[in-house]
Amino acid sequence: MRIGLKKKKTTSGAASKLLAMAKKLSSKPTILFIFVSFMLFCAFLPVFAPLPSFSSHHSHRNTVNRKFEIANDRFWKDGEPFQIIGGDVHYFRVHPEYWEDRLLKAKALGLNTIQTYVPWNLHEPAPGKLVFEGFANIEAFLNLCHKHGLLVMIRPGPYICGEWDWGGFPGWFYSMNPTPKPRSSDPTYLQLVERWWGNLLPKFVPLLYENGGPIIMVQIENEYGSYGDDKEYLHHLITLARGHLGHDVILYTTDGGTRETLEKGTIRGDTIFSAVDFGTGEDPWPIFKLQKEFNAPGKSPPLSAEFYTGWLTHWGEKNAQTDADFTAAALEKILQKNGSAVLYMAHGGTNFGFYNGANTGVDEADYKPDLTSYDYDAPIRESGDVDNSKFNAIRRVIARYSSVPLPSIPSNNEKARYGPIHLQREAFVFDMFDFTNSTNVFKSETPMSMEYVGQLFGFVLYVTEYKAKRGGRILFIPKLHDRAQVFISCPSEESGARPTYIGTIERWLNNKVTLPDIKCHSKINLFILVENMGRVNYGSFIFDRKGILSSVYLDKEQVKGWKMFPIPLHNLNEMSTYNPITQVAYSAFSGISSFRKKLIYKNGNTSKEPAFYSGHFLIDKSSQVKDTFISFNNWGKGIVFVNDFNIGRYWPLRGPQCNLYVPAPLLKQGDNFLVILELESPDPELVVHTVDEPDFTCGSSGTSLHQL
């Protein structure tokens, strides 16, 4: 095997001659760029904005004689042939204090390149509000890659897929008029892209390889051939990227390894490099042969830009796994003939907050939301563990083709059990609202989407009233995204009219609910708590508004007169102005609570009414602050916050994920606070347990593992 490495090398003189013959000079762009400002509820001019001719890259001219390029169907780094052995590590799925840990483990796996997406919605959570701190500090992540000698392939989209909410597009698109049409030549959409990339891409200029940084390639769009074939759109993105980044950096597309996807998703010739992706069960070399047809002669080094080490898992499915030795052997088929590959994923991480994506099956109602865990059965596990058969098998293969000795393997991060955490109910969700005199309410004859009421993630409560009818009534919502719990109450009752749980409507079942006949001297209150479980991120049904998106019917009669109450639970890397989680956590241990004054119905621990629960656990010494998992066995469905950080959704009743990962940097010496929003069925004992390992055996689906 080592003999093959020698064949790759040439003298630098020979390499220079070869490259000189293969290169083509490109001219500088001269098209004028016009920035067009915009406001959230304003219409955009229905014309294409001219493309840029930025000169920002000129101030970072190559003064270090570094060059990464393509010639003779090979990658070349500083005049020497180079084989990309890379892996995806997404900075936004890893706590920033663990970025270095995961990169060192990726390097120990044998990787020389890191690939990462850039999710637009994380960096621009509201129009014009740009965030590049915390989990969104992409420049810090790229500098860490550079520090450890790892090259970077960056994927700024604007569409990323990635099992991330709406493929990275901001949910506030749906609040605009006109609504942008993503992944197209729609002028409104392109103006937004130009604005976003105008803020993002200049950050990459000093980090380009030619300027002394780690970035060797920049992807345009992502798997576009699986969605559309608008070549004008792709050319627009290419021109825009060249205007910011110059003509030396390699731009690339990635598409599935079929003729149809490549025909639709890339551009033939040397305008852009066409890469492919495929799984472990496919023969790579016929796909690489097809890839060559879409690149200019001599410009098609075989590259699988997504070589799948595992697969994603949806709620209700068996946990996906791929065999370690089979995966490693498939990788070797690529490397042994000087092919390049990027492992997807090298390290999956976690869908913290509300950012998990979703998929669909035969239609948009066949909705499949992703787990909080994005472990992906990757060689570096969700918690950073590397002591597993897949890591070792892949490392053994890579070691045979690496041009340098591999670093020693770091140890797994230590885990801790902090014992059981006892909780108490602090507030019913419905007690957060004054339904008769609330300022935080939207009123409309028909239901409004979540995006229109400014609640992009989480929950919105829809409230109306109706007349009782002997024998009960049938509730039907033709278009619901994604899951609704239905409650009724009689406001004239002396009991205070606690809402009574009636049933749950789920998008994928499109089921109806029967409202019972109750005696009430006034109209009956109807409460529908709707959860956004993640926007579809892939396929033809990615246009995925949330909330109640149609009229609501009782016995085929349209219900009118609605109030919409946003529920302000903060997402990853953001804090809301009004934060009930902080208030609940603080009040639970200070004895002061505006919520508690309302809680006169606290008898009994179990209730179908959604409520906040709080607890705490003590860590005596700083040396005891370690990774842990929280087990939600015996709980129903909900969201959990640790020290005011949204660690994600749990749903052990559906499975397969039982435990949520808690990175040590979220914890602290002393008291650590836990707040749970349980939607339907809390543990009767009101206790959760901290454990030291993941568990994917919950629900009827989780009893056995799914081998791909």
Bridge partners (DSSP) of residue 110 are none
CA–CA dist 691, 682 (Å, integer): 19
Continuous H helices in 448-503:
none
344 and 455 inside one domain: no
Q: Assess if residue 69 is contained within a domain.
A: no
Reported residue count of the chain is 708
Lowest-pLDDT choice from 13-27, 107-121, 193-207, 295-309: 13-27
User: What is the CATH classification number for the domain harbouring 210?
Assistant: 3.20.20.80
Q: Considering the entire predicted model, what is its pTM?
A: 0.89
The fraction of the chain above a pLDDT of 70, given in percent, is: 84
User: If we measure between CA atoms, which residue out of 459, 446, 628, 676 comes closest to residue 553?
Assistant: 446
Residue-level pLDDT at 607: 64
Residue pair 462/563 in contact by the 8 Å Cβ criterion: yes
Residue-level pLDDT at 469: 86
Q: Assess if residue 641 is contained within a domain.
A: yes
In tens, the pLDDT along 437-489 reads 778 899 999 999 999 999 999 999 999 999 988 888 999 999 999 999 999 99
367 and 234 inside one domain: yes
Tell me whether the omega of the peptide bond preceding residue 345 falls within 30 degrees of 0, making it cis. yes
Report residue 495's pLDDT band, with 50, 70 and 90 as the boundaries.
low
Q: Assess if residue 567 is contained within a domain.
A: no
User: If we measure between CA atoms, which residue out of 218, 77, 228 comes closest to residue 157?
Assistant: 218
Amino acid identity of 412? N
Domain that holds residue 450: 446-560
Lowest-pLDDT choice from 33-37, 302-306, 607-611, 629-633: 33-37
Residue pair 542/182 in contact by the 8 Å Cβ criterion: yes
pLDDT at 562 over 90: yes
pLDDT at 31 over 50: no
Report residue 498's pLDDT band, with 50, 70 and 90 as the boundaries.
confident
Mean predicted confidence (pLDDT) in 239-251: 97
Residue-level pLDDT at 599: 40
Residue-level pLDDT at 581: 54
576 and 530 inside one domain: no
Bridge partners (DSSP) of residue 314 are 370
CA–CA dist 331, 684 (Å, integer): 49
Q: Assess if residue 462 is contained within a domain.
A: yes
Q: Assess if residue 203 is contained within a domain.
A: yes
Q: Assess if residue 484 is contained within a domain.
A: yes
Top pLDDT among 432 and 123 is at 123
CA–CA dist 623, 59 (Å, integer): 47
Residue-level pLDDT at 61: 53
Residue pair 148/111 in contact by the 8 Å Cβ criterion: no
CA–CA dist 569, 486 (Å, integer): 20
pLDDT at 188 over 50: yes
595 and 500 inside one domain: no
Top pLDDT among 436 and 310 is at 310
| Neighbouring C-alpha atoms within 13 Å toward the C-beta of 434 | 7
Residue 334: phi, psi to the nearest 5?
Answer: -80, -50
589 and 631 inside one domain: yes
384 and 510 inside one domain: no
DSSP state of 594: T
Report residue 502's pLDDT band, with 50, 70 and 90 as the boundaries.
very high
pLDDT at 44 over 70: no
- The CA distances from residue 516 to 472, 487, 524, in Å, are 4, 11, 11
253 and 309 inside one domain: yes
Report residue 83's pLDDT band, with 50, 70 and 90 as the boundaries.
very high
Residue-level pLDDT at 32: 33
What is the DSSP pairing of strand 215-219 with strand 250-256? parallel
User: What is the CATH classification number for the domain harbouring 503?
Assistant: 2.60.120.260
Instruction: Determine the 3-state secondary structure of 47 from DSSP.
Output: coil
Residue-level pLDDT at 494: 57
Instruction: Determine the 3-state secondary structure of 517 from DSSP.
Output: coil
Report residue 12's pLDDT band, with 50, 70 and 90 as the boundaries.
very low
181 and 108 inside one domain: yes
Residues 6+ apart with CB under 8 A from 104: 148, 407, 410
What is the DSSP pairing of strand 670-678 with strand 367-369? unpaired
Q: What's the mean per-residue pLDDT of the chain? A: 88
The fraction of the chain above a pLDDT of 90, given in percent, is: 80
Residue-level pLDDT at 64: 63
Q: Assess if residue 151 is contained within a domain.
A: yes
Residue-level pLDDT at 575: 60
Residue-level pLDDT at 574: 74
Residue-level pLDDT at 57: 43
Tokens of 282: 């496919």
Instruction: Determine the 3-state secondary structure of 415 from DSSP.
Output: strand
The C-alpha angle with vertex 624 and arms to 622 and 630, in degrees rounded to 5, equals: 120
- In the chain, the number of structural domains is 3
CA–CA dist 364, 507 (Å, integer): 9
Residue-level pLDDT at 439: 82
Mean predicted confidence (pLDDT) in 351-362: 97
CA–CA dist 142, 133 (Å, integer): 13
Residue-level pLDDT at 63: 53
Tokens 């959570």 correspond to 125
Residue-level pLDDT at 24: 35
Lowest-pLDDT choice from 27-31, 319-323, 359-363, 484-488: 27-31
Residues 6+ apart with CB under 8 A from 698: 633, 652, 653, 654, 655, 656, 657, 658
Residues 6+ apart with CB under 8 A from 584: 426, 427, 593, 595, 612, 614, 675
In tens, the pLDDT along 250-290 reads 999 999 999 999 999 999 999 999 999 999 999 999 999 99
CA–CA dist 572, 532 (Å, integer): 15
383 and 459 inside one domain: no
Q: Assess if residue 661 is contained within a domain.
A: yes
- The CA distances from residue 708 to 308, 389, 600, 705, in Å, are 11, 16, 52, 10
In tens, the pLDDT along 406-431 reads 999 999 999 999 999 999 999 999 99
543 and 608 inside one domain: no
pLDDT at 39 over 60: no
| Neighbouring C-alpha atoms within 13 Å toward the C-beta of 534 | 29
Of 518, 533, 560, the one marking the end of a domain is 560
pLDDT at 29 over 50: no
Residue-level pLDDT at 38: 36
Could you list the active site residues?
A: 223, 306
pLDDT at 578 over 60: no
Residue-level pLDDT at 605: 47
381 and 466 inside one domain: no
In tens, the pLDDT along 506-550 reads 999 999 999 999 888 889 999 999 999 999 999 999 999 999 999
548 and 598 inside one domain: no
pLDDT at 245 over 60: yes
Mean predicted confidence (pLDDT) in 613-622: 97
Instruction: Determine the 3-state secondary structure of 525 from DSSP.
Output: strand
Residue-level pLDDT at 493: 62
